[in-house]
Amino acid sequence: MSSKRESPLEVFLNRHDDAAWRETLVTLLPAIHEVDRNAAQVWFHFYPLALLRAFQAAEDPARLAQELLMQGSWYLKDQLDASHTFLYGHRFWPEVKRAVVQLAGGVEIPNGRTLAEVVREVARAAAAERKVDESLTIGIAAVGLMALQQVGSEEFRRAPGEVLIDRRHLKRTPEEVLRERAKDEGQGLFGFLRTADRRWTVVWDENADDRRFKALDKQEVASGAQADKRPWHETDARCTVNEGPIPVQCRSASCGTCWVGVLGGADKLSETEWRERKVMPLFGYVETDDPKPLIRLSCQARAEGPVSVVIPPWNGYFGKYLKRVREGTSEEAVASS
């Protein structure tokens, strides 16, 4: 953790771990606009606090990164503005950032205030400034506060606080985004009779019209992506030439490279099978009994309808390690005891 003096807001936030944040999100979910209900949860899976703390505590972070097979860009400080472009609320980021900075410069958070109440306070301020409904700013307000907790006040203030979506996509209403996600691809009046050549649209960036591909009915999402031969390795070094925009290695639920978050259509993906369920907690991505969770391995999840997913900018194998840290049996924990 940083040795710099923490603001009262950071002191308050640092009393909360990933589990406390998860509980807070559950409390807030009914108040979050549907357009961002999944996205907010996905973001919190993409940037776990415990992983950051493990790196901050490590004597040799580069060695730890090797041990955890980390690939891509996992530090939130390197992508403070870009990490949440997949939230509809990203367009209110400048206002949310201002509200968080203002709160961070204020006095102690009164005893008894809950994290959910603090999130709502930031969301209310941002919504009032932009004259939008608060339901649209709650998800991004939670993101803003967790971001402050992870990077500290100084770094947080320094981030440009930019909106990174083009003007045309910025203009879309939440209803338009939801309609687009729910677009029925029944493929004609007698579509249900055609099974062999059915194809589903998989969108992997809702802010760019060319970032989508077709998957055959019941085809693994990552296999559908393979048909896109554009040079995605130039955008994401984890991608392999001619393998599409989703980074993949094993295609057999062993490496964890291909994980994605589901923004829309989670129910249109096949249920998790035992292998995906077994490895997800080992990777550290998600631990859930939900047969259709919001975090999936795209080499396992099969498309049975249109879906909207988001590709995280990194992957790793850290669940086992964090468990050892929690239990005090990691090398680092043993060395410091």
User: What is the contact surface with ligand FES in residues (CB under 6 A)?
Assistant: 248-251, 253-258, 297, 299
Phi, psi at residue 303, to the nearest 5°? Answer: -80, 130
Q: How far is the CB of 264 from ligand FES (least distance, A)?
A: 21
The least CB distance from residue 34 to ligand FES, in Å, is 29
CB 253, min distance to ligand FES, A? 5
Q: 309, 336, 329: which is closest to 224 by C-alpha?
A: 309
The widest CA-to-CA distance across the chain, in whole angstroms, is: 68
Tokens representing residue 94 in the block: 């400048």
Closer by beta carbon to ligand FES, 37 or else 251: 251
Nearer to ligand FES among residue 202 and residue 255 (C-beta):
255
Judged by beta carbon, residue 183 or residue 275, the one nearer ligand FES is 275
- Nearer residue to ligand FES within complex by CB, 9 or 246: 246
Q: Closest CB to ligand FES among 103 and 248?
A: 248
Nearer Cβ to ligand FES (109/258): 258
Q: How far apart are CA 299 and CA 209, in angstroms?
A: 23
End-to-end CA distance of the chain: give it in Å, rounded.
18
Q: How far is the CB of 225 from ligand FES (least distance, A)?
A: 11
Instruction: Round to whole Å and give the CA distance between 283 and 289.
Output: 16
CB of 153 to ligand FES, least distance (A): 37
Q: Is 45 helix (H, G, I), strand (E, B) or coil?
A: helix
Q: Which is nearer to ligand FES, 101 or 299 (CB)?
A: 299
CA distance 97 to 10: 14
In DSSP notation, 154-215 reads HHHHHS-----S-HHHHT--HHHHHHHHH-----STTGGG--TT-EEEEES-TT-TT-EEEE
- Three-state DSSP class for residue 262: strand
Residue 283 Cβ vs ligand FES, minimum distance, rounded to whole Å = 8
Give the nearest distance from C-beta 198 to ligand FES in angstroms: 23
Q: Which residue is nearest to ligand FES (CB)?
A: 299
Give the span between the Cα atoms of 11 and 7, in whole angstroms.
Answer: 6
